[in-house]
Amino acid sequence: MGGKIIVPTYDGNTKQISITSGTQNNDEVKLRNEGIPKLPPNQFQKGDYIIKLKVIMPKIKDLNDIQKEKLQEFIKADDK
């Protein structure tokens, strides 16, 4: 389904990133030049900030009746 999330950055700010449809657990997003400063003589450059995504799927018991019904419709549509 995808979407957008806000993540903290190394310098104390936040950055909004896009999560693409089909993202799986443990996929990574790389924010170029948003990581920690490099070692001399390149200390004015920053490394990349790697974000590992944790995808959490809801448990069936936590779904309400409408959500369960929609899930059943999705499963039936996939069987065709």
Mean residue pLDDT of the chain comes to 90
- What CATH number has the domain bearing residue 50? 2.60.260.20
75 vs 16, which has greater pLDDT?
16
pLDDT in tens, 19-70: 998 899 999 999 999 999 999 999 999 999 999 999 888 888 889 999 989 9
Q: Based on the structure, what is the number of domains in the chain?
A: 1
- Where in the chain does DSSP place strands (E)? 3-8, 14-19, 28-31, 49-52
Question: Of all residues in the chain, what percent carry a pLDDT higher than 70?
Answer: 98
Residue span of the structural domain in which 24 resides: 3-79
- The tokens describing 12, both together, are 């104390």
Place of tokens 């700010």: 13
pTM (predicted TM-score):
0.68
pLDDT at 49: 95
Per-residue b or e along 33-68, where b marks 16 or more CB atoms closer than 10 Å to that residue's CB: ebbeeeeeeeeeebeebebeeeeeeeeeeeeeeeee
